[in-house]
Amino acid sequence: GIAPANLSDNTLIATGRFEAACSRQSVSIEPTKARIGIDVARYGTDNGTIYVKHDGRIWRHKQISGQDTNAYRAAIIELCEALQAQGVTDLQIRVDGGGGYASGIIDPLRIDMSFHTMFKTVRLHEVHNNGEASNKARYADKVTEMYAEAAETLNGYTIVNPPPQLEQDLTDRRYGFVNKSGVTVRKLEEKELIKKRND
């Protein structure tokens, strides 16, 4: 027989799981907590994105063209004001550290007291995809661990108005197993391999 279209081999986020997250009715989950993830554009026609996870829903807040970190900070402050109005008291922001643009977003926010007083708890993270995973017994690096965490989150959260490219970005990246210091762990394939596979 032919495998169904929603079956994903060697991917941390299965197509079926993504589609279920897009179609389910959202339910309230930890309404006082919000998480913001930022991927800064790196070159030419590349677009950066700001995603939000809050109260059972995940959505893209904004797409930004170019590397102007001021534009990202302005969008973040606007978003945080809206989240504060919705009762958020615990905020975490993660910025992709690749390309060196994360510090232009995180450093000014660290010293902006008006921003910090908006929430009871604020944590800012510069994330390096090739950095060490928290669970070194299962994952080779931080990006593999983050994909696995995203897969678990999609079991309960609803993706609202997903952009066309999001499904492929999440479900098309395969993983394999590597030996790291004598421990067999999962590792996502490099983006260059995905591009070659899809050409």
Token readout for 17 is: 């799981």
Per-residue confidence (pLDDT) for residue 45, from 0 to 100: 64
Mean pLDDT for all residues in the chain: 90
Q: Is the pTM of this model over 0.75?
A: yes
Would you say residue 117 has pLDDT above 60?
yes
Per-residue confidence (pLDDT) for residue 148, from 0 to 100: 96
Backbone angles phi, psi at 105, to 5 degrees: -100, -50
Provide the pLDDT confidence category of residue 188 given band limits of 50, 70 and 90: very high
Q: What is the percent of the chain where pLDDT is above 90?
A: 75
User: What is the three-class DSSP state of 172?
Assistant: coil
Per-residue confidence (pLDDT) for residue 1, from 0 to 100: 38
Per-residue confidence (pLDDT) for residue 6, from 0 to 100: 44
Q: What is the DSSP string of 39-70?
A: E---STT-EEEEEEEETTEEEEEEEEESS-HH
Provide the pLDDT confidence category of residue 3 given band limits of 50, 70 and 90: very low
**Are the beta carbons of 12 and 169 closer than 8 angstroms?**
no
Backbone angles phi, psi at 139, to 5 degrees: -130, 145
* Radius of gyration for the chain, computed over Cα atoms and rounded to the nearest angstrom: 18
Would you say residue 43 has pLDDT above 70?
no
